[in-house]
Amino acid sequence: MPHASNDVSSTMPKAMQIASRIETAILNNEYKQGEFLPSQKELGDKYDASSRSLREAFKVLEAKGLIEVSQGKKAYVKTNRLDQYVESLSTSMFSQGSHDSRLNSDLLEVHITLEVSAARELSRSRERGTIVKAMENTLAQMSKDLARIETSGDKEAIEDFQNCDFNFHLTVVNSNNNIVFRSIYNSLSPQLKKVMASLPETLEERRKKVREYGYLVDALRDGLTDLAVAMTLVYTTNLRQKFNATYQEEESR
């Protein structure tokens, strides 16, 4: 299995890196509910970031309901929990009778939020060994399925790879001790699985996915929280981009 490198996080957009680090600080109560975040200048110096990257990071955090930004004032922390954001998206989905591209987009946002949160917590858990082993087994099966796809390209091998791919994500999310999060995710799982399976994927993209999952497993095993979060954001962001490209193309026809 490839060895995880801290350089991997550099593939993530700067704004997402900053958003992830501030989000982690908020969820860890380093910035408490009702408190102001440091000024944009202070944050810019801390993260070596431009004002544009910070504004984009704030938009991400504001969309999750973690902060609120008023013009001419500092951003302040609205909550130290993601429950309200996740429940709001999932409630919106359940209240609709269909699963159009907008709802599926919300579904992916729930997935990304839950998986990043779960990866962060898993990397810190003293009992992560069993879960990491299960992820290693799933990844090993994905490698075998990939070899079958490379050799024959048959439909069954692709379906087996997709099932393992989804189970890999499921293992990460279900490692989270938050019962509400797990319940929401498992309720959304059938539709999420359909969405993920519907996205086109080249052989090289599958190879890249196996490598990135390997980096994540290494980071989790070694308890490297920042790298585990970065790797989770990298491949979940790739998933979102592929979804947007696929469904925008379909809607433009």
**Domain harbouring 244, CATH code:** 1.20.120.530
Same domain, 114 and 232: yes
Same domain, 51 and 122: no
The predicted pLDDT at position 6 comes to 46
Segment 177-227, tens digit of pLDDT: 877 778 778 878 888 898 899 999 999 999 999 999 999 999 999 999 999
Same domain, 70 and 131: no
Segment 88-130, tens digit of pLDDT: 766 665 565 545 677 788 788 888 888 998 999 999 999 999 9
Same domain, 202 and 90: yes
Structural domains in the chain (count) = 2
Same domain, 208 and 104: yes
Same domain, 100 and 171: yes
Structural domain contains residue 30: yes
Instruction: Say which amino acid occupies 139.
Output: L
Structural domain contains residue 155: yes
Same domain, 221 and 167: yes
Which residues form the domain of 18?
A: 6-77
Mean pLDDT, rounded, of the chain: 85
Same domain, 160 and 215: yes
Segment 19-35, tens digit of pLDDT: 888 988 888 888 999 99
